[in-house]
Amino acid sequence: MSGGVDSSVAAALLKRDGYEVIGVFMRLGSPDGVEIAESSNSDGKKHKQGCCSVLDAADARKVAGVLDIPLYVLNFQEDFGKVINYFVDEYNRGRTPNPCVRCNDWLKFGKLARYAEAVGADFVASGHYARIGDDPATGEQSLMRGVDHKKDQSYVLFGMTRVTLEHTLLPIGAFEKSVVRQLAQEFKLPTFNKPDSQEICFVPNQDYAGLVKRRSPENFREGELVDSAGKVVGSHEGHQQFTIGQRKGVGVAFGYPIYVVDIDPASNRVTIGERSALMKTKLRAKQINLLSSRARDAHDLKCVAKIRYNSPPASASLNVVGDDEIEVTFDEPQTAITAGQAVVCFDGDIVLGGGWIEEAIE
């Protein structure tokens, strides 16, 4: 229970349906001096950009009181520090990380799942907009997209194991967000009108490069900005300030739109060019997790794939090319396929699986 409306309603629905519900709040803290980012709303109150702030803990306690369920606070500060370290390390490697997926894999459906097993709980439940149902093609239990495709979060859950999947409940995945808020009012939950969490919780003012620099100043050094022909056109203070596809804040003007098209951490060189240089049709991914048996020996398996959380699904083919490697080939070129992001493949609403992008290969 993060203190938001979604997990609050998830708990209320489970209680209504007769489950014995144990509320758990993950205390993430501020490891190694990282301040959990907060912002002020128009009412002057502080609200965290992500989940699990001090204010969120107070809201979770209020909801637990309304529902008459116990609430336990678990200290995940050390584990959360690993998520932040991963975030910093990826930027230093010239990649663009997705800490929300890692947080789900390592904490919510990793350590928390082990805690649930230790206390004798049958399931871990969360307020994610995703579903668990049977794949009509195989009959096996599958992770599925949420009914509200605008809020769907199945992408960030692709890394859960099949064992975890079988012990997971996603109570709000069958509802639109507007209905969830209505249910919160019907249940008289104090979080019914709480704003949605936004952005990454541990990055103050969304200054990613600033966080990385504070955590690893020795990795920041001046480097060259070059065009697609290799001509030096400017300089930068650290490649960690850039991500593939970035247009704003590049630091030079050509009189037409230019984008970051390549980052070489070894030479500390950042290449800029036109949008056409970002268009690729194929990618290679490792650290794969194939949830569907249909995907485990895939050869030209037709699917749709997402290369980032907010990107629309695009028609593609999936191939397994090694024990821990897949290739995804798109029917049409995609913009800014980015190393460090996840690629997730779907058949309709069924999550087939995915992996972590290594490179765009053509």
DSSP 103-120: HIIIIIIIIHHHHHHHTT
The DSSP bridge pattern shows strands 269-273 and 223-226 to be parallel
The parent domain of residue 241 ranges over 221-273
pLDDT in tens, 94-142: 999 999 999 999 999 999 999 999 989 999 999 999 999 999 999 999 9
Asked whether residue 38 is assigned to any structural domain, the reply reads: yes
Q: Please check whether residue 158 lies inside any domain of the structure.
A: no
As a whole number of angstroms, the distance between CA 129 and CA 127 comes to 7
Statement: residue 44 has pLDDT above 50: no
**What confidence score (pLDDT) does residue 258 get?**
95
At residue 216, the pLDDT reads 96
Which of 130, 123, 124 lies closest to 175 in space, CA to CA?
130
- Please indicate, yes or no, whether residues 123 and 251 belong to a single structural domain of this protein: no
Cα separations (Å) of 238 from 67, 241, 337? 50, 6, 21
Residues 12 and 53 in one domain: yes
The yes-or-no verdict on residue 30 having pLDDT over 80 is no
The domain tally of the chain equals: 3
Domain CATH number, residue 266: 2.30.30.280
* E strand map for the chain: 23-27, 38-40, 46-48, 71-75, 124-125, 130-134, 141-145, 168-169, 223-226, 232-236, 259-264, 269-273, 279-290, 301-306, 314-322, 325-335, 342-347, 350-360
The CB-based long-range contact list for 173-177 (8 Å cut-off, 24+ gap) reads 173/128, 173/129, 173/130, 173/131, 173/132, 173/144, 173/146, 173/147, 174/131, 174/146, 174/147, 175/147, 175/148, 176/147, 176/148, 176/151, 177/129, 177/148, 177/150, 177/151
Residue 51 reports pLDDT greater than 60: yes
| 51, 195: one domain | yes
Residue 105 falls inside a structural domain:
yes
Kindly state whether residue 262 falls inside one of the protein's structural domains. yes
Whether the CB-CB separation of 29 and 151 falls below 8 Å is answered with: no
DSSP state of 154: G
| Range 38-65 average pLDDT | 67
User: First and final CA of the chain: distance in angstroms?
Assistant: 43
Quick one: 54 and 99 in the same domain? yes
48 in any annotated domain = yes
Q: Is the pLDDT score of 40 beyond 70? A: no
Could you tell me if 102 and 192 lie in one domain?
yes
Residue 155 lies in a domain: no
Based on the fold, state whether residues 184 and 267 are members of the same structural domain: no
- Residue keyed to tokens 């897949």: 326
pLDDT at 42 over 50: no
Task: Give the CATH number of the domain where residue 314 resides.
Answer: 2.40.30.10
**One domain, residues 264 and 288:** no
Write the Ramachandran bin of 201: left for phi over 0, alpha for psi from -120 to 50, otherwise beta. alpha
Kindly tell me if the per-residue pLDDT of 344 is higher than 60: yes
Which has the higher per-residue pLDDT, 49 or 228?
A: 228
Task: Supply the pLDDT for residue 271.
Answer: 97
Q: Based on the residue annotation, tell me whether 345 is a catalytic residue of this protein.
A: no
199 and 293 housed in the same domain: no
Looking up residue 16, the CATH number of its domain turns out to be 3.40.50.620
Same domain, 109 and 86: yes
pTM comes to: 0.91
Annotated catalytic, 303? no
Residue 287 sits in the same domain as residue 331: yes
182 lies in the same domain as 56: yes
In a domain, 215, yes or no: no
**pLDDT over 90 at 203, yes or no:** no
Nearest in space to 295 (alpha carbons), one of 172, 137, 186, 130: 137
User: Looking at the domain assignment, is residue 188 inside a domain?
Assistant: yes
Tens digits of per-residue pLDDT, 152-186?
999 999 999 999 999 999 999 999 999 999 999 99
* Ramachandran angles phi, psi of 189, nearest 5°: -85, 135
Q: What is the pLDDT of residue 143?
A: 98
From the candidates 51, 52, 100, 201, which is the catalytic residue? 201
Statement to judge: residues 18 and 81 lie in one domain: yes
Annotated active-site residue in 51, 52, 100, 103: 103
**pLDDT tens profile 78-87:** 999 999 999 9
**pLDDT, position 33:** 46
Partner residues linked to 244 by β-bridges: none
The one-character DSSP state at 92 is H
